[in-house]
Amino acid sequence: MTGTDTGVGKTVTAAALAAALIRQGRSVDVIKIAQTGDDDDAAEITRLSGAPARALASYPDPLAPFAAARRSGLPLLKLAEAVDAAFDSPAEVVLLEGAGGLLVQLGQDGWTARDLAVELGCPAVVVARAGLGTLNHTALTLEALARRSVDAAVVLGAWPLNPGIAEYENLIDLPGPRLGWIPDGAAALAPEVFRLAAGEWFDLPEPDPRP
In contact, 58 and 34? CB cutoff 8 Å = yes
Strand partners, 9: none
Q: What is the DSSP letter of 35?
A: E
Identify the active-site residue in 2, 11, 32, 130: 32
With CA atoms as reference, report the closest residue to 99 among 2, 165, 205, 201. 2
Is there a catalytic annotation at residue 78?
no
d(CA 12, CA 49): 9
Residues near 112 by beta carbon (within 8 Å), at least 6 away in sequence: 98, 102, 103, 104, 105, 106
d(CA 71, CA 50): 33
Three-state SS across 104-165? CCCCHHHCCHHHHHHHHCCCEEEEECCCCCHHHHHHHHHHHHHCCCCCEEEEEEEECCCCCH
Which spans in the chain are helix H? 10-23, 41-49, 65-72, 79-88, 113-120, 134-146, 165-173, 191-198
Q: Tell me which residues are annotated as active site.
A: 32
